[in-house]
Amino acid sequence: MSAKKQINIFLVEDNQVFTLALKADIEAAFANKPIAIQSFETGEACMEKFKKDRPEVVILDYNLNSKYPKAMDGIKILDWVKRENPETHVIMLTSEDSIDIVLRSLKHGASDYVVKSETKFKKINFSLTNIFKIMEATSDGKRYKRVIAGVVLCFAILVVGVVTIQIVNPGLLR
């Protein structure tokens, strides 16, 4: 991954105080990374900006309808995000410590699941570190694939050239 490429992170959480604290903690933890964090109180607000900004990571609250009763819940937003861009990494965030919710979130495509406990910020930062490593490895893999394709193409051109010379002028390469 290019050192200069900005990593867009969307934070979807209806608790503004928690959002500000989490945003500050992430920015401090990754001060050496070019990240930009945008926050949204509802999934619907996130969806409006998602298509334009195409974030690499979404940190998504599971219960988004506590403050806004008509808001979509986290699983519906997760499904929408994964349909729009399957490569976006989603960290589900919730105060509910339920294995059923964990399994449901992972089944729907979440990259990780963090319970809002006293270690929540450390866990989110650990998850982000792992996601950044995955993004870098994926980028490196794509770059290596292009290099190999280029080498194979050059070799193929060389072989075709030699064969063509042999056909046109068989004694030239002896």
Q: What are 22-78's pLDDT values in tens digits?
A: 999 999 999 999 999 999 998 888 999 998 999 999 999 998 766 666 778 889 999
The answer as to whether 17 is a domain residue is yes
Q: How far apart are CA 128 and CA 135, in angstroms?
A: 10
The answer as to whether 147 is a domain residue is no
* Total domains present in the chain: 1
The answer as to whether 118 is a domain residue is yes
CATH of the domain at 50: 3.40.50.2300
The answer as to whether 166 is a domain residue is no
The answer as to whether 95 is a domain residue is yes
The answer as to whether 24 is a domain residue is yes
The answer as to whether 69 is a domain residue is yes
Asked whether residue 122 carries a pLDDT value surpassing 90, the answer given is: yes
Tokens of 22: 């989490």
Q: How far apart are CA 1 and CA 37, in angstroms?
A: 18
- Residue 10: band (very low, low, confident or very high) from pLDDT cuts 50, 70, 90: very high
Query: Which pTM was predicted?
Result: 0.78
